[in-house]
Amino acid sequence: MNERYARHISLTEVGIEGQQKLTKAKVLVIGAGGLGCPVLKYLVAAGIGTLGIVDFDTVSLSNLQRQILYTEKDIGKNKAAVAKKRLESLNKDVNITIYPEVLGLENCLTILASYDIVVDGTDNFTTRYLLNDACCKLQKPLVYGSLYKYEGQVSVFNYKQGPSYRCLFPEPPKSGEVPNCNEIGVLGVLPGQIGIMQATEVLKIVLGIGDVLSGKLLYINVLTNDRRVIEIERNDKIIQSIYTEELELITTRDCITIASVSLSEMNLTDEGVCWIDVREDHEQPQFEFPGLKKIPLSSLLDEIHTIPKTTKKIIFCQSGVRAKKAIDLLEEQQISNCVALSEGANELKYWIHQQI
């Protein structure tokens, strides 16, 4: 242990005692994406003893520009499972538990209960508000990070009676107000910077050193080099209402909380599956196979009566973006059991060719 962590142990503020605190720490990371990858890598390297990773999503090609734990061979695989494998090769002594599922009302409090500190690596307000409220109820620190193109924010909420995320933003934005992260883009290095700052806050909390970013919002803009620490006050009334009210999901569908499936997990002969192509009629390549319906996104609501309600539905388009919008629309109309195909039509054509 001493050789691996020698550079930590040499620090007067850490020492062997501090390294032992890291070994005993239990940290849960929600989301193994742009923020989660650097957070996880540095926490594992630092010797955090127990780590939980929650992520239902699969690796896609567009993730590789910033999600540094993954390679091209991982495309289509569950992020939490791949992350665990990669991190164990970095430090086999870290005990890693994965939760390849959506964090929701049913599992949130149970999963959080086993950990001391929670790291927010989510990319949507639904999970962020749920996580904040759950951490507030359980009085666990939430190390928050979020991004917008070239700008990032970091803070620690619910730490030693400090403010919560709702003290900063009591109510979530309206649906569609903050664009989907798939549509806006982000400079690849930014989640690296923000994630490393989140990991730093975790280490400071565990070690009990330095000034934790509680009651403060660190804001950076990597284009202008603007960097500020903004003070936030605790709002007792808001905190009290979180304590007393039941957990609930907010309805803002700002980003991907939509289940997806990869071709690598499927066979064309799978029975009881309805495939829905939501591309417009003129788009190529065209498909004909049993169980396929062609309903362009533009006429989805007009054709909704033709969609089976309970059968598993795999929705696809040219790149995956419209498939997720279609699922949003279908779920608003109470049509469940829909998953988006991670790949687009061209990959599907190649896959079908291989299957036949």
Partner 1 sequence: MKLTLKYHGRLTELFGKKEETITVTSNTAEALKQELEGLDIRFRENVYQLAQNNKIIKGNEILTAFDVDIFPPFSGG
Give whichever of 105 and 184 is closer to partner 1, judged by the CB atom: 184
Show contacts of 231-238: CB within 8 Å, 24+ apart. 232/155, 232/163, 232/167, 232/168, 233/163, 233/167, 234/161, 234/162, 234/163, 234/164, 234/167, 235/163, 235/166, 235/167, 235/170, 238/164, 238/166, 238/167, 238/170
- For 65, half-sphere exposure in the C-beta direction (CA atoms, 13 angstrom radius) is 8
List, in sequence order, every residue forming a beta bridge with 155; answer none if it has no partner: 144
Q: Compute the least distance from the CB of residue 233 to partner 1, in Å.
A: 7
Token reading at 340: 């988006």
Comparing CA positions, the residue from 246, 237, 194 lying closest to residue 219 is 194
Q: Compute the least distance from the CB of residue 25 to partner 1, in Å.
A: 22
Q: Compute the least distance from the CB of residue 171 to partner 1, in Å.
A: 7
Give whichever of 181 and 339 is closer to partner 1, judged by the CB atom: 181
Q: Compute the least distance from the CB of residue 3 to partner 1, in Å.
A: 35
Binding stretches for partner 1 (CB under 8 A): 31, 33-36, 120-125, 128, 145-149, 151-153, 168-169, 171-174, 177-179, 181, 184, 186, 191, 217, 219, 221, 228-233, 254-255
Comparing CA positions, the residue from 261, 201, 255, 282 lying closest to residue 75 is 261
Give whichever of 183 and 271 is closer to partner 1, judged by the CB atom: 183
Give whichever of 20 and 235 is closer to partner 1, judged by the CB atom: 235
Token reading at 337: 């059991």
Q: Compute the least distance from the CB of residue 121 to partner 1, in Å.
A: 5
Give whichever of 55 and 277 is closer to partner 1, judged by the CB atom: 55
Give whichever of 19 and 126 is closer to partner 1, judged by the CB atom: 126
Phi, psi of 201, rounded to the nearest 5 degrees:
-65, -40
Nearest-5° Cα angle at 234, 228 to 235:
130
Q: Compute the least distance from the CB of residue 170 to partner 1, in Å.
A: 9
